[in-house]
Structures are given as structure tokens and as C-alpha cells.
A and B are shown apart, each in its own frame.
Chain A
């Protein structure tokens, strides 16, 4: 283990760092059935590395029941945004950890049911009392069983009890909003129970995750932090030579590159398969390579062992330009901020260049050995999302349609004419259980066309949806190339019988530049008129990234009045004719 992975490194760093300087902030509570000293310090350091100011609360030793059941507990006073509740199998099973077979099969089942219902009531109480996200661990599997090899010949065995407990816990949390599982079961598989559990640590201090595995635990928990703050990366940008295949196409030729069933070519096949697997959660792909376009494209299109094909990429830059300019062009074409990208390149010089010039892009170290690529990709927690939406599932298709749109854009002579040919349809939808996950995702992730960049959590959105003083909804945009899915969100607060306040208005980068925002605004204006409102007020809150929305309000006829942008509802609002709107 390298010294920078040791817990002492994090404990010392945590004393040195200054978190005050970061705007981005998160409050994390940790409660557990055992001692997890050092976790708070490690999370602080890891948050610091991600430019997050992290404030932590640690519950008392094995006090999780009291912290959750007592409405006046320090946990609730802390008002966390994420709460980690971490269990271990020894605490849950107690004496039964060593003597599960002192119970009959039926009693073992009853025991698991009882433990599950205890935890369900904790979740219920927590959900009623706090708006924090709750991340609850399942149980790790001990390799040991009192029955030894007969374990697997035993009905409802010790190991079955743990599996059953975990399965029931999973089914329970599916019924709760903003409750998730930290899969400690998989964490133990990843690192091995005999490593993660150290008897000396346990006997000395009831430390059930060995001291030097605390940083690895923190790494996994950071996935939830990244996802809560909407810092999830959206696109992997790939070099080609010695990254997606072995060798250099310009020198080794179509037949000479290493890519196929034999080592070392199979290392690249495996890496490509891992990348492709990530597209299943909505990650998009791009190429940034210094090469002859035709030579490289021939491999992508025709090589029999190439896993990633032409249509797997949302953007392809194969040319002799430097990697940084290409990177910026990719960001531009995909309408994504540079901080949405992870860049893979085997060349240390290119990596350094990108890290120095565009530090917002995440550029992981790649070793010379391609057999290590898969592990490096799988170890990144930057692609974490709480749940997979329909938009995530269809994103790859939508981006390849987008590539077709751009070709069509070039062939139209002007923008207005191009937009007319697109056959744009905007559907205004209510905020309900079907649309809320996507609304929440857009609110957390959208940076550019976002009027106020207010990062409401899913709970807030649910409250707005039930509040008749709030008009909240979203918009789905379709065109002749396909369905872009839900790509617009608005929140209007009904201040009084005269004035409404446009609190949030955003568009996904995918549909920017098509004036669909006017169809959405028109809907809001019509609703306001129906209710006899005189004015809609709004504000443009400047961030580093939301320049694209700067002129939206004045362009739509809002005028400045006492520090607000105000639309006078006696005025008529014109929607471009090429937009078709329907209200669901």
C-alpha cells in the first residue's frame, strides 16, 4: 500500500487544509454500529480535492438508534444533506454471529425479518424527520460459517440470512425517496474480507473496517457526495493509439496494431468493453486523437476486433491539432462544460498539457501497462448517479442524432431556415413521480442555460409539486431526428394575486439555440394571464458558466425594474412559428 493511501496521510492533511475558500458546500453526517474514526478527516480531504467544503458530524459510538429516534438529537440539529448509516454484520447478529444454528430454520427467518423491520422503522423515522439523503449500508458477507463446507448444504443457512437481509433491505429502500444503499457487500468483495477486517483493530478498538481501508471506504462514499452535488462527469474523451489499441496506426498499419483475442491486444478489447459498459448509464464518448483521419476511421469502422464503433461516439476529433484545442471544440460541440469530461491518453506529455491548461478536465494517470486500464477506469467514482433515468438510457442515441443535426445545420444557409426544417415539438409536462427524477437531475446538473442555478434537492421539488403556490413543470423536446427527452425545467412562485416570480428556468445544453425556451415561457405567460396576474418578475443570477442565458429575459421582453427583470402581462408575447407546443 502506498503511503499516500494510508489513513495517517489523510488525518494529517485534514489538519492542514483550508476549506473556507470553496463556494460548494456539503454537510455530511456519519452514524454507525462501530468505530469509524478517521472517516470524517478522510472525507474532508477528498472533498477538498474536489473543491468542496465539507462539514461533518459523527454520531456517538453505536448510538445510531438514539440519533435517529430522538427528534432532538444532535444528528437532526446538524441538519445534514447526506447521512451515512453504516452497519456491520457482527453488531447486527450479536451472539448469533457465532451461533446462528442455535436457532431453528424458522427462528433464523424470524430473526432476519425482525432485524429488517427494525431498520425499516429507523428509515421511516429518519425520512419523516430529516430532508437529508440517507445512505444506508447493507451487510458484508463473512467467509466464515459455523457449518464450514456444509454451509451450502444447509437450508436458510447463516450466509442465506445475510443475503436475505440484504435483499429485503434493498426492497425496502425502493419504496422510500432519497434513501440509497452503500453496497458494503461489494466493497468487501472488492478488497477482500481478510484485508478489510483486521482482528487487532477490532479487538483493540471495535474497529470493524481496518484503519487503512478507511480511505478506500471514503472513496466509495464520495460517489454519493459527487452525485448529490451534481458533479458527475458526463463524457469520456479517448485517445486512440496505445489507448484504444496497441501500437500506432500511422506506423504499424491496419494489420499491425494490437487489438484482438491474443495478449496484449485483448487488454485493449477489454478496456473498450469496459468503456462501452459505462454508456449503459448514459456516459457519452468522444475521440481526441492526433492521426490521419482516414487511417484511424478505417480501424474504427472496419477492424474486426474494434468494440467501439462510429455510432458509439458523440463527437470525433481526429486531426493534427493539439489536444487542448480539440478538447475545447468537443466541449463546444457537445455543449458541455469542460468539467464534464474525463480524458484518457497514454501519453504523459498530453496528459500534463491537458491538466495544466484545462484543469477542469479530469485526466487520470494511465500506466504503461494496458492490462491496468480497466481497473483504473473502474476505480473512478466520477461517473456516479443515484438513479438511471430514461434520458440516461437514450443519451447515446440522442447524441448520435445530434451529430446528424449538425451535418444538416451546415447544409442550411441560415439558422432560422435550419430551425424551420427541424420540425420542433415542445411538450409541457407536469412535475410528478414520472418526471421528478429527471427534473431533479437537470436542476443539479445544468450550468449554462440556467437563469438562477438554484440547486434544489429532490425533496424540495416534491414539495413544490404539491404546493399550489408554485407552478413547476418540465418540457420534452422532439424534432425530426428524434426525441431529446425532458430537457427544460421551470419553477414559478406565485407571490400574490398580482405578481408571479420566475424562480428557476433552465434548458439542457442539448436543446439550446433552438428557441424552445420561448415555447416554455409562453406557457408560463398564458398561465399567468389566465390567473389574472399583471407581472412576472425574475432575476438573472450570474455564475461562471451561465453566460448563454444572459440575454434570455431582455430578448423575451422583460425590462429592468428595481433590480428585477419584469414582464408586463398586458404585452403580447410572440412564439416563433416553427415551434409546436402541446400541454399535457
Chain B
């Protein structure tokens, strides 16, 4: 499942999937603007069929956070 997640992040941020890991954050990824952040959340909600709470949406600083939130919604992420 990590792979699907990385592909989505790669698509939205326009960077190679190989450059993404759990520590990748808004600071490292230049294209991760606040607007791209909303787009990413929307894309994840559509692809994984989940809805994030406002607290979850506010607490996305890096890819690890996204994994944690997805797991909270029952999405299996290795």
C-alpha cells in the first residue's frame, strides 16, 4: 500500500516516487505548498475512500503522518 501512497504523493507534488519516504515533509518537498496540501488530501480521500477529520488534516507535516491517519481509517499500510 505504501507504493500506492507514494505514487499519489509523487503525482500531486510532481516529484519521483523514489525520492519519497516517511520523513519527507513540507520542508523537503518544495512543491508541497499549502494549496498542494489540500489537493493531496482530496486525492487521498478519493483514492482510499476515507474522510479525514479537521484535526487529521491539520496534522500532516510529513508522509509518516499521512500513513498514521490512513491506518486510523483502517487502510492497511506496510
Contact = CB atoms under 8 A, between A and B. Distances in A.
A315 interface: no
Contact of B35 (A3, A37, A200, A212): A37
A211 B38 contact: yes
A7 B46 contact: no
B11 interface: yes
A38 B34 CA distance: 12
Contact of B46 (A6, A37, A207): A6
B54 interface: yes
A200 B57 contact: yes
Given A6-B46, A211-B42, A205 B57 contact: no
Nearest to A214: B39
A23 interface: no
Interface in B9-53: 11-12, 14, 34-36, 38-40, 42-43, 46-47, 52
B39 A211 contact: yes
By secondary structure, the B interface counts as helix
A7 B34 contact: no
A1 B12 CA distance: 17
Interface stretch (A8-16, A74-82, A267-275): A8-16
Contacts of B35: 37-38, 205
A6 B54 contact: no
Interface in B47-78: 47, 52, 54, 57-58
A201 interface: yes
B35 to A, nearest CB: 5
Contacts, number: 43
A6 B8 CA distance: 12
A8 B33 CA distance: 13
Nearest to B43: A8
A201 B38 contact: yes
Contact of B42 (A7, A12, A15, A203): A7
Given A6-B43, A6-B46, A207 B14 contact: no
A56 B58 CA distance: 31
Contacts of B42: 6-8, 211-212
B70 to A, nearest CB: 16
B39 A15 contact: no
Q: Which of A37, A38, A200, A205 has the most CB of B within 10 A?
A: A200
B57 A204 contact: yes
Contacts of B46: 1, 3, 6, 212
Contact of B11 (A12, A201, A203, A212): A12
Contacts of B14: 12, 15
A531 to B, nearest CB: 61
A205 B38 contact: yes
Contacts of B11: 8, 12
A200 B34 CA distance: 13
Nearest to A205: B38
Nearest to A198: B42
Contact of A8 (B39, B52, B54, B57): B39
Contacts of A38: 35, 39
B39 A200 contact: no
Q: Which of A1, A38, A201, A204 has the most CB of B within 10 A?
A: A204
Interface residues of A, number: 18
Interface string B1-13: 0000000000110
Nearest to B34: A205
Contacts of B36: 11
B8 to A, nearest CB: 8
A204 B38 contact: yes
Contacts of B12: 8, 11-12
A212 B41 CA distance: 11
Interface in A10-49: 11-12, 15, 37-38
A260 B52 CA distance: 48
A211 B36 CA distance: 10
Nearest to A207: B38
A36 to B, nearest CB: 11
A15 B11 CA distance: 12
Contacts of A204: 34, 38, 54, 57-58
B16 to A, nearest CB: 14
B54 A203 contact: yes
A8 B11 CA distance: 8
A207 B57 CA distance: 15
A7 B57 contact: no
Contacts of A8: 11-12, 39-40, 42-43
Contacts of A6: 42-43, 46
A212 B47 CA distance: 13
A207 B35 CA distance: 10
Contacts of B39: 7-8, 11, 38, 211
A200 B54 contact: yes
B13 to A, nearest CB: 10
A200 B58 CA distance: 10
Contacts of A212: 42, 46
Contacts of B40: 8
Interface in A184-213: 200-201, 203-205, 207, 211-212
Interface string A506-542: 0000000000000000000000000000000000000
Q: Which of B12, B14, B35 has the most CB of A within 10 A?
A: B35
Contacts of B54: 200, 203-204
7 contacts: A3-B46, A38-B39, A200-B52, A203-B54, A205-B34, A205-B35, A212-B42
Question: Closest 6 CB pairs between A and B?
Answer: A37-B35, A211-B42, A8-B12, A8-B39, A8-B43, A211-B38
Interface of A: 1, 3, 6-8, 11-12, 15, 37-38, 200-201, 203-205, 207, 211-212
Given A11-B39, A201-B38, 17 more contacts: A1-B46, A6-B43, A7-B39, A8-B39, A8-B40, A8-B43, A12-B11, A12-B14, A15-B14, A38-B39, A204-B38, A204-B54, A204-B58, A207-B38, A211-B38, A211-B39, A211-B42
